[in-house]
Amino acid sequence: MRKSSKARGPGRPSSVASLQARERLVSAAAEHFSRNGFAATSLRAIAREADVTPAMVAYYFQDKEGLLQAVLEAGLDLLVQAIRQALAEPCEGALLERFIGAYLGVINAHAWLPRILIQEVIARDSPLRQVFARRFAAEMLPLVPPALGRAIAAGELRTDLDPRLTVMSLVGMCVLPYIAEPVLGPLLGYRIDPEFGAQFTAHTVALACHGLEGER
Amino acid sequence: MRKSSKARGPGRPSSVASLQARERLVSAAAEHFSRNGFAATSLRAIAREADVTPAMVAYYFQDKEGLLQAVLEAGLDLLVQAIRQALAEPCEGALLERFIGAYLGVINAHAWLPRILIQEVIARDSPLRQVFARRFAAEMLPLVPPALGRAIAAGELRTDLDPRLTVMSLVGMCVLPYIAEPVLGPLLGYRIDPEFGAQFTAHTVALACHGLEGER
DNA sequence: TGTACATCAGTGAACGCGCGTTCACTGATGTAC
DNA sequence: TGTACATCAGTGAACGCGCGTTCACTGATGTAC
């Protein structure tokens, strides 16, 4: 619980710590949207946490959708940058390890990100779907499936694989513990922290490379 | 678009097709909640699709949460029954194939189910979280991790596996294409139908059993 | 068999609340002279 | 250097809308006599 600053009259505030209001709004919104969902979160709640007036949302972001868009863009930046870096490394081999490591690295540090993406992705009629779909199609699709395709052609991966199905399998097996943590965390007894991230990354790389069956 | 029946005056309606109003409400609600999210769906929209008055929601389900609970319970019934049947079969071996086949069989026919579960699971403060968590803890947890644990102990699966992480990996890799279909379907070029279900099941079983790497 | 009536599935108009959004205003800051 | 003023980050009260929910009623059905 953040204590609201004692006296905040009208008029232009002192310049110290002023331009951070926008950033506080974005981070409070990421927190609330990812926990409660976009529609169920009120701007009043976000503004309260950011120690700011609800009118500031219109001031900075036009409207509630604009605030969500700012959150989404920030998250996509994180994701695209990490994946691009992981796949662009010149070294051969270990493609699965690099991809899984990069992806889990980002979402282990920012669990709000996959939660917001999934919600946004589920909502059929949101105009922001276009924004996401366009950025995803432009920045991720030319990167990941072709990299998998090359690894398949090179025999690093099984030659009977469908790259598109494989991308979805990898993302799905990485993301579920982070999306479901609010329910499954208490039930299965885990918390999202660096230790869990390391353990789950090792588990996932082994599963993706060799599968689950024993007696190899 | 369902055409509303022409004349529907007040008073007790003719008994034909009358008790189905409740079922129509549940199925319309499953459709809307899974597509637009719980908070973003209005009871008026659901009632319109079910060709029924919004007041009927209160009549049958007490309130909006009660309607969601009815949808959730119906979905959990489907899921629990399929998993229980798959794991209870007396035959040995092929545990992964049976689990994945049962799970994908249900969600390929009812894609609304994982979407609603994920949304409900993400929302931190929903009272229905308790309902889901209790049923899940009571009916699924005693079933799946122990079955995996037995397979690990028997050497059917790798002996270094953590059953809890393994459950999450399996569910995640199965569920993602269904959750993300509204966005990824058009981008990757797939639709959810029996053909996709069969193809994705084969792909997922192979991945879970043997992994992705080539040159075996 | 005919009739009076209790039942209860369902109506539809209205309610109040909380939401996103608007807008006339404020006053410290930075600048021009 | 001192002063007048344009700028603009931010306020806060108010607006209207659409939501979930309520409730006094309705009238076909099934039943008792």
Q: How far is the CA of B62 from the C1' of C20 (A)?
A: 28
Residue A2 has pLDDT above 60, yes or no: no
**For the residues A184-204, what does the mean pLDDT come to?**
97
Instruction: Check residue B108 and give its pLDDT.
Output: 98
What is the token pair recorded at B108?
Answer: 């390929």
Bases of chain C within 7 A of a CB of the protein? 7-14, 18-23, 25-30
Instruction: Check residue B146 and give its pLDDT.
Output: 93
Higher pLDDT, A5 or A174: A174
Q: CA torsion sign, A29 to A30 to A35 to A38?
A: positive
Q: How confident is the model at residue A119 (pLDDT cuts 50, 70, 90)?
A: confident
Structure confidence by residue, pLDDT tens digits, B8-18: 455 555 555 55
Q: How far is the CA of A26 from the C1' of D14 (A)?
A: 26
Contacts B155 to A, Cβ<8 Å:
214-215
Chain A stretch 130-169, residues whose beta carbon is closer than 8 A to a beta carbon of chain B: 132-133, 136-137, 141, 152, 155-162, 164-169
Contact between A166 and B136 using a beta-carbon 8 Å cutoff: no
**Optimal mutation site among B31, B42, B192, B207, interface A, most CBs of chain A within 10 A:** B207
Residue A37 Cα distances to B39, B112, B126, angstroms = 8, 18, 11
Q: Are A204 and A174 in contact (CB under 8 A)?
A: yes
Q: How confident is the model at residue A3 (pLDDT cuts 50, 70, 90)?
A: very low
CA distance A165 to A211: 16
For chain A, give the mean pLDDT: 87
Instruction: Check residue B88 and give its pLDDT.
Output: 84
Contact between A157 and B212 using a beta-carbon 8 Å cutoff: yes
Structure confidence by residue, pLDDT tens digits, A141-189: 999 999 999 999 988 999 999 999 999 999 999 999 999 999 999 999 9
pLDDT mean for each 10 residues of chain B (216 residues): 38 57 93 92 95 93 94 93 87 84 98 91 74 88 93 91 96 97 93 98 97 72
Contact between A182 and B124 using a beta-carbon 8 Å cutoff: yes
Chain B stretch 98-137, residues whose beta carbon is closer than 8 A to a beta carbon of chain A: 115, 118-119, 121-125, 129, 132-133, 136-137
Instruction: Check residue A14 and give its pLDDT.
Output: 55
User: Is the CB of A53 within 7 Å of strand D?
Assistant: yes
Q: How confident is the model at residue A4 (pLDDT cuts 50, 70, 90)?
A: very low
Instruction: Check residue A1 and give its pLDDT.
Output: 30
Contact between A187 and B137 using a beta-carbon 8 Å cutoff: yes
Across the interface, which of A39, A159, A165 has its CB nearest the CB of B214?
A159
Residue A53 has pLDDT above 50, yes or no: yes
**Token match 């994946």: residue?**
A83
Instruction: Check residue A181 and give its pLDDT.
Output: 94
Is A177 near chain B, with CB under 8 Å? yes
Collapsing DSSP states into helix, strand and coil, what is residue A157?
strand
What is the token pair recorded at B7?
Answer: 């004349």
Residue A89 has pLDDT above 80, yes or no: no
Q: How confident is the model at residue A5 (pLDDT cuts 50, 70, 90)?
A: very low
Instruction: Check residue A157 and give its pLDDT.
Output: 92
Q: How far is the CA of B150 from the C1' of D26 (A)?
A: 62
CA distance A70 to A139: 18
Instruction: Check residue B111 and give its pLDDT.
Output: 95
Q: Are A113 and A106 in contact (CB under 8 A)?
A: yes
**For the residues A11-25, what does the mean pLDDT come to?**
69
How many interface pairs between A and B have CB atoms less than 8 angstroms apart? 208
Structure confidence by residue, pLDDT tens digits, A35-47: 999 999 999 999 9
Q: How confident is the model at residue A15 (pLDDT cuts 50, 70, 90)?
A: low
Instruction: Check residue B10 and give its pLDDT.
Output: 54
Contacts A176 to B, Cβ<8 Å:
168-169, 171-172, 175-176
Structure confidence by residue, pLDDT tens digits, B21-71: 899 999 999 999 999 999 999 999 999 999 999 999 999 999 999 999 999
Contacts B139 to A, Cβ<8 Å:
none
Instruction: Check residue B90 and give its pLDDT.
Output: 64
Instruction: Check residue B1 and give its pLDDT.
Output: 30
Instruction: Check residue A10 and give its pLDDT.
Output: 54
Residue A94 backbone dihedrals phi, psi, to 5 degrees: 55, 30
User: Is the CB of B49 within 7 Å of strand D?
Assistant: no
Show the 3-state SS of B107-129. Answer: HHHCCHHHHHHHHHHHCCCCCHH
What is the token pair recorded at B80?
Answer: 């629990």
